[in-house]
Structure 1
């Protein structure tokens, strides 16, 4: 019985990245031997065990054979005769098909270490096409690895295009799409996720609402990048820069301009009312992906309100109050901070504007803080109730916003 460290832990060590979870493969053992050694078996379909002390995962070496459609249609074969190379062969990418023996020796039958050195994401073998989830995984890996200089091997892109054309991606369930999308939005370069899927002709299947934005022109005086899809890529990357690892902000950024795909051709490159049109699209995409409710709500309000935030210096105090109220900001204060961040990402996610100051974000936060400072209990003490109380509270909050606006902002 031999044990090897495999997968992401080996890959990330070779990349010089911080270590994450460690996974192990065990060659030459039976399930009973693992149980006798004190390991706890988890799941019923795969021979995976938890170490009795560390809780780390140890899997018996196994092979997989395609037995049905989609990413769940596999027959698993695990017994002591399965070799380490056979186990590594079933993995998706060469950089994930490297093992490290207990004495530190690398076992790298598919050249993964060389691909890490060359910064290439390459599939292990032709069995790659059997699992549609691997298309999403390739794109998600690129969201993480593109800043390190990685590109996808041309032959891997060709296989991904073949999978998209075959209809195999239709088997992906929303939960798995959302899981991979979330990981991409938490990465440093979400744009690489979108670009990889587009290169594989898979974005139209996975995120058709986003795919529809490519080729839609915008006014060059506002958007030097012109193409709306390119703009959304830039906004998602800026959101990742402003709020690293925050998929909620990332999803708001991804959805903020979905309405531009619905602009009548005769009106292009102007996009009048795109923010209102985008709400229905954002809601539909969120519903299809089964996104969490807070993601759905933020996506919709970012679409609806982002142009108002850009123009906050022109807005009346009452308009600013009502914007906050529509976002349910008084009950959920984080909404306003999130909206401000997405709007800043929108403004700075344009060619030549990455370092342009966006004072509107600070202004929105400052005026919101002023409105929050109004105490409802003081108004209630006057005996007002029901609609009269609500009207008085609104009036007091508007007055607080007006007073805060009249005072010079304090530089941080």
Structure 2
């Protein structure tokens, strides 16, 4: 059915196992190789020497080793089990419970090759999923990323695992492990259906309960979906236009309206629902959710800042576009991609071709301004000392405010020389204190 890709030489006495064997049988060259070998340390050091990689001990007690090679290729080496069949039968899904030998033989005690050909995700046994509750999340991830049908009994057991975790009869997996599953799911082109699959299995309530608060919350106007479905549709729209979108942008798009349910109110005069401040509330919620999932602080901050800024008005003139770029350069172009995905995910009564065209023009103005302005700000026209002397200011926050005002004026081409900068700051100070 599949043509096997070329593989690197097998380590002496080694087996290619798990997901790496599965991918080879699918005709896909793995990026991550998992080897079971008699001597993990020796196998890792030999490979590192042969291919100029770096080998290091991954787990001292269990004797696991890892090798990083060029272009992101990774090889993990674990001790060869005394009973290979028993080890494979302890794994999560049949398609991951296979191994290949160096002479091309397939070890398949659970019938994984049959399920692979049927594009079916089936658990090895009903006891293996609750043995490690994270495997329920892996069911959602593999069904999405492999585009496999989740076998009905496996789906039932995964849902039961979610219920038992929620009830406290099974432990919640470590957040770092849940994060890795979520990141792998979000990295896929079908991330939006994957999030819905988590919901169908009862896992979203354990992972991102705040996202579920939008279910059944309508917001009318430009929108045709409830808040929850709109968030998922925006992620779908983002990935349809930007398949290589970085993960923080994917998170921000999925969560961009997460603050709406907590800010909804009804205008006493018009009777319309309002969500004033949902961008700021949503940014705080996004930060808390991603911190809980143990994302890096840099990715968490970037995603939260994108959510906070996604409602900023688009510029109507080139000058406004230059100001937009100057004030939000650290968020561009991600912010524009989020804003476009948000708009394209809204097809309510107010979302007309004319409104979408006007929105597109605003985006184009920002893109043009982004191309005009250098990535790095030019050197300041006046130093901090010069600003203090000119405005008779002592060291303090006021000097920083003046410097930022001048930097923006320079970015907008309102001043281009030190003399113009001095005149600008004097006028600014007079107006500010007058």
Q: One fold, TM greater than 0.5?
A: yes
* 1:312/1:85 CA distance change after superposition, 3 Å: same
Q: Deviations over 1:188-243 (max 9, x none)?
A: 11123312211111111111111222222232x5233x122222222223333404
RMSD over aligned Cα, in angstroms?
3.8
SS in 2 for 1:11: helix
Mean CA deviation greater in 2-11 or 313-322: 313-322
* 1:122/1:371 CA distance change after superposition, 3 Å: same
Match of 1:284 in 2: 288
**Residues in 2 aligned to 1:315 and 1:113: alpha-carbon distance in whole angstroms:** 60
Aligned residue runs from structure 1 range 136-155, under 5 A: 136-146=137-147, 150-155=148-153
Alpha-carbon contact 2:41-2:65 (below 8 Å) kept: no
**Residues in 2 aligned to 1:381 and 1:282: alpha-carbon distance in whole angstroms:** 36
Q: Deviations over 1:7-64 (max 9, x none)?
A: 12221123233332222234xx5889989x999975234353569x9984333344xx
Alpha-carbon contact 1:239-1:253 (below 8 Å) kept: yes
Which ranges in structure 2 are unaligned for 5 or more consecutive residues? 1-11, 48-54, 389-398, 416-434
SS in 2 for 1:23: strand
Alpha-carbon contact 1:13-1:19 (below 8 Å) kept: yes
Alpha-carbon contact 2:318-2:369 (below 8 Å) kept: no
How far residue 399 of structure 1 moved from its aligned partner, in angstroms, is 4.7
Alpha-carbon contact 1:94-1:110 (below 8 Å) kept: yes
Match of 2:391 in 1: none
Normalising by structure 1, report the TM-score.
0.75
* 1:21/1:304 CA distance change after superposition, 3 Å: closer
Alpha-carbon contact 1:240-1:246 (below 8 Å) kept: no
Q: Deviations over 1:303-360 (max 9, x none)?
A: 222122xx414489569737853x4x3xx4xx2212122222222345699x987454
Alpha-carbon contact 1:341-1:361 (below 8 Å) kept: no
Match of 1:68 in 2: none
SS in 2 for 1:17: coil
Match of 2:237 in 1: 238
Match of 2:338 in 1: 342
Match of 1:67 in 2: none
Q: Is residue 164 from structure 1 mapped to residue 162 from structure 2 by the alignment? A: yes
How far residue 269 of structure 1 moved from its aligned partner, in angstroms, is 5.6
Match of 1:95 in 2: 95
Larger Rg: 2
* 1:170/1:213 CA distance change after superposition, 3 Å: farther
Q: Is residue 228 from structure 1 mapped to residue 227 from structure 2 by the alignment? A: yes
How far residue 259 of structure 1 moved from its aligned partner, in angstroms, is 0.7
SS in 2 for 1:24: strand
* 1:227/1:45 CA distance change after superposition, 3 Å: farther
**Residues in 2 aligned to 1:341 and 1:155: alpha-carbon distance in whole angstroms:** 40
SS in 2 for 1:187: coil
Alpha-carbon contact 2:214-2:261 (below 8 Å) kept: yes
Match of 2:135 in 1: 134
* 1:400/1:232 CA distance change after superposition, 3 Å: farther
Match of 2:302 in 1: 298
How far residue 275 of structure 1 moved from its aligned partner, in angstroms, is 1.6
Which of 369, 385, 397 pairs up with 1:367?
Answer: 369
How far residue 391 of structure 1 moved from its aligned partner, in angstroms, is 2.7
**Residues in 2 aligned to 1:313 and 1:375: alpha-carbon distance in whole angstroms:** 23
SS in 1 for 2:36: strand
Match of 2:29 in 1: 18
Match of 2:4 in 1: none
Aligned length: 365
How far residue 113 of structure 1 moved from its aligned partner, in angstroms, is 1.7
Alpha-carbon contact 2:282-2:308 (below 8 Å) kept: yes
Match of 2:426 in 1: none
**Residues in 1 aligned to 2:89 and 2:177: alpha-carbon distance in whole angstroms:** 23
**Residues in 2 aligned to 1:89 and 1:6: alpha-carbon distance in whole angstroms:** 12
Q: Deviations over 1:148-197 (max 9, x none)?
A: xx222221221122112112565322222222222222221112331221
Alpha-carbon contact 1:143-1:188 (below 8 Å) kept: no
Match of 1:404 in 2: none
Match of 1:69 in 2: none
Match of 2:9 in 1: none
SS in 1 for 2:206: helix
Which of 271, 275, 279 pairs up with 1:271?
Answer: 275
Q: Deviations over 1:235-272 (max 9, x none)?
A: 22333340426212211212211112214365776534
Normalising by structure 2, report the TM-score.
0.72
SS in 2 for 1:378: coil
SS in 2 for 1:312: coil
Match of 2:59 in 1: 43
SS in 1 for 2:381: helix
**Residues in 2 aligned to 1:299 and 1:101: alpha-carbon distance in whole angstroms:** 44
Which ranges in structure 1 are unaligned for 5 or more consecutive residues? 63-79, 402-412
SS in 1 for 2:123: coil
